[in-house]
Amino acid sequence: MRIYKVKDYAEMSRKAAAVMAAQIVAKPDCVLGLATGSTPIGLYKQLVEWYKSGDLDFSEVTTVNLDEYKGLPKENDQSYYYFMNDNLFSHVNVDKSRTFLPDGTQPDAEKACTEYDEIVRATGGADIQLLGLGHNGHIGFNEPSDVFKKNTHCVDLTESTIKANTRFFASEADVPRQAYTMGIGTIMSAKKILVVASGADKADAVYKSFFGPITPQVQGSVLQLHPDVVVVADEAALSKCDL
């Protein structure tokens, strides 16, 4: 695991975007594993800037996203499908027929999860998987648990995650209570993993994930077992780590 300590969110975004851009340049037909949430937005903006300046080409890229809320249609402005189009896909030359997310509109959880696992397998898996880190150490929507779940599954979101996501909705009552998410086995099968973290409110999760015991109660801790992890985090997020 390589940990890059940067000054602030802006530097984190540029540094992490450079790691992802290097993957695209090295392998133009790569599979990018993508994430949503507030932390990766700056990274996506930087990738868009480099595309517009002619430095990046997404035409052969395939993408697979970590998760999607269950029950939200694609046109809902809080769906992760909408988020990805708004922050990246609509601004670059990616072939949208090769951009994949779990189908949040599929009410049959088993069917939705099985189908998404088949899609990810068919792509060959992510060459690089981008991850944020939840306040409780979750990656994707893999919440604290007694086990590490291997495959895509339907999760009941914890109260802390619901509260953290309330800022994106009109009220807490509007936040979906379930989501479809890649399992830990799928995430860990990525050839390379890129983790971004910013802010003092993530300091506990960063410390427990990368310097604490490996436990499904802190799902991010499993990343300690992956052979190629790059963490880009700002000073505030790393404030509890002895680096």
Q: Give catalytic status of residue 143 as yes or no.
A: yes
Distance (Å, whole) CA 130 – CA 230: 10
Q: Which residues contact 9 (CB under 8 A, 6 or more apart)?
A: 42, 198, 199, 234
Q: Give catalytic status of residue 77 as yes or no.
A: no
Q: How far is CA 105 from the centre of its chain?
A: 20
Among 87, 138, 142, 153, the active-site one is: 138
Helices (H), the chain: 9-26, 41-52, 80-87, 109-123, 159-165, 184-188, 203-211
Phi and psi torsions of 193, nearest 5°: -125, 135
Looking at residue 77, its amino acid is D
Q: Which helix (H) or strand (E) holds 215?
A: none
Nearest to 186 by CA among 224, 151, 153: 151
Q: Give catalytic status of residue 172 as yes or no.
A: no
Among 136, 142, 165, 234, the active-site one is: 136
Q: Give catalytic status of residue 226 as yes or no.
A: no
Q: Which helix (H) or strand (E) holds 198?
A: none
Q: Are 50 and 18 in contact (CB under 8 A)?
A: no
Distance (Å, whole) CA 197 – CA 190: 19
Among 143, 153, 165, 234, the active-site one is: 143
Would you please indicate which residues are annotated as catalytic (active-site) residues? 67, 136, 138, 143
